[in-house]
Structure 1
């Protein structure tokens, strides 16, 4: 096994573990009481204004970035090394 292959595998495993943690930590859509009753979240202009600086938005962005890294690493490792 080459050093690059081992490093890529270690990075892949770390990305997988962090991605699972972020998915479990994130708040589901419609997780509040009104979302559970009506089937949709209670988002208005006032509740979504400034949302990009909240912890939920940070978790959402981090999850999306790690999911993209996971997909790219999966494809690269599958095509080049035949996992």
Structure 2
């Protein structure tokens, strides 16, 4: 990874795909509408992340991967507590 932006992209995609489908199921939205909503939210989040200046800074691959893996673990643990 060359920028913090890539770490933010990966974590944003993981967060949206982890939490959004569960909340859309509460409303009883159909599969196709749920898919369109997820794609629209992903594009919106990725657009916003790409505009943040702080995330344009360079980072080494090792630090980027370790940060991304740590975020995946933290989000997975938090989702288990939130969803139960």
TM-score range, shorter chain: 0.3 to 0.5
Q: Normalization by structure 2: what TM-score?
A: 0.37
> In proportion to residue count, which structure has more helix?
2
Bigger Rg over Cα: 1
Q: Which structure ranks higher in relative contact order (CA pairs < 8 Å, sequence separation ≥ 6)?
A: 2
